[in-house]
């Protein structure tokens, strides 16, 4: 298996793991799945840790193989920065999208084993706008948080950075972002993470899906710009 194919496989597996674990925890915390009150035993902090902690682990496991983008916004920003070859970018993004969709397909199959679960009532952890924010605010959250996320990623992975703490920095920021966004239905920061559940879940999630595609891509580019301003490498 050549290097590019190995990277694509790693990206597919990594995105599957991130979306599966993160959205599974999110769904199981919702009202009516495990309890009428909802928020299970993990709560908002648990959802935040599910996404941030999973990403931290993946940085150390598949990072040496593919760079652990598992996010089209990261791949695009890395392409602009020259850290990812543009010829490899389509393969990365396709692998990420396939991994995300597969994660949601597997999740709905497993959750269907719970008599209390209904995809129409409980969803699949798709991003949305449950707080009823304006579209501009929803988009703004995605741009700002993803810009800061990519600033952290570029800073933590630059030449000379301490690789032993890379996962802690990157996963740690995703944890912090979800402390804000988990309660707003926001904090995707990752088009693949949003596309997979939205496609399988359907319904209202598809109506705002564009926000969680455009916002992270724009934010990723802004984040690289912030990094360039602050770094000499």
DSSP per residue over 215-229, as a string? Answer: HHHHHHHHHHHHHHH
Residues of the chain with pLDDT under 50: none
| Residue of 232, 192, 167, 184 whose CA lies nearest to 47 | 184
The CA distances from residue 177 to 49, 62, 214, in Å, are: 10, 22, 18
Q: In whole angstroms, what is the distance from residue 233 CA to residue 231 CA?
A: 6
pLDDT tens by residue, 28-45: 887 767 666 565 666 788
CATH number at residue 201: 1.20.1080.10
At 201 the pLDDT is 93
Q: 69: domain range? A: 3-116+126-230
Model pLDDT, residue 40: 61
DSSP state of 188: -
pLDDT value for 30: 73
Is position 96 within any domain?
Answer: yes
Residue 45 domain flag:
yes
Residue 82 domain flag: yes
Domain-embedded: residue 137:
yes
- In this prediction, residue 38 carries a pLDDT of 60
> Is 121 inside a domain boundary?
no
What's the Cα-to-Cα distance from 153 to each of 6, 42, 178, 190, rounded to whole Å? 22, 27, 16, 13
pLDDT value of residue 116: 84
Q: How many domains does the chain have?
A: 1
> Given this model, what pLDDT does residue 63 score?
96
pLDDT at position 233 is: 63
**pLDDT tens per residue across span 186-210:** 789 999 999 999 999 998 889 999 9
Residue 219 placed within a domain: yes
pLDDT value at residue 25: 92
């Amino acid at each position: 298996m050549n290097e590019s194919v190995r990277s694509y496989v790693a990206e597919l597996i990594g995105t599957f793991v991130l979306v599966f674990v993160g959205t599974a925890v999110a769904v199981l915390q919702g009202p009516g799945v495990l309890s009428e009150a909802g928020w299970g035993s993990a709560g908002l902090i648990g959802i935040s840790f599910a996404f941030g902690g999973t990403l931290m682990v993946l940085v150390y496991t598949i990072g040496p193989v593919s760079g652990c983008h598992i996010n089209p916004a990261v791949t695009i920003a890395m392409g602009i920065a020259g850290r990812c070859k543009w010829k490899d970018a389509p393969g990365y993004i396709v692998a990420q999208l396939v991994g995300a969709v597969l994660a949601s397909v597997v999740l709905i199959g497993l959750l269907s084993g719970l008599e209390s679960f209904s995809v129409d009532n409980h969803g699949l952890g798709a991003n949305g706008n449950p707080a009823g924010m304006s579209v501009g605010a929803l988009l703004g959250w995605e741009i700002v948080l993803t810009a800061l996320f990519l600033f952290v990623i570029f800073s933590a992975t630059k030449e000379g950075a301490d690789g032993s703490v890379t996962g802690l920095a990157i996963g740690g920021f995703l944890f912090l972002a979800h402390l804000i966004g988990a309660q707003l239905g926001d904090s995707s920061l990752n088009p693949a993470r949003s596309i997979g559940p939205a496609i399988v879940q359907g319904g209202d999630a598809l109506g705002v899906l564009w926000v969680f595609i455009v916002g992270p891509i724009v934010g990723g580019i802004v984040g690289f710009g912030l990094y360039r301003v602050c770094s000499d490498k």
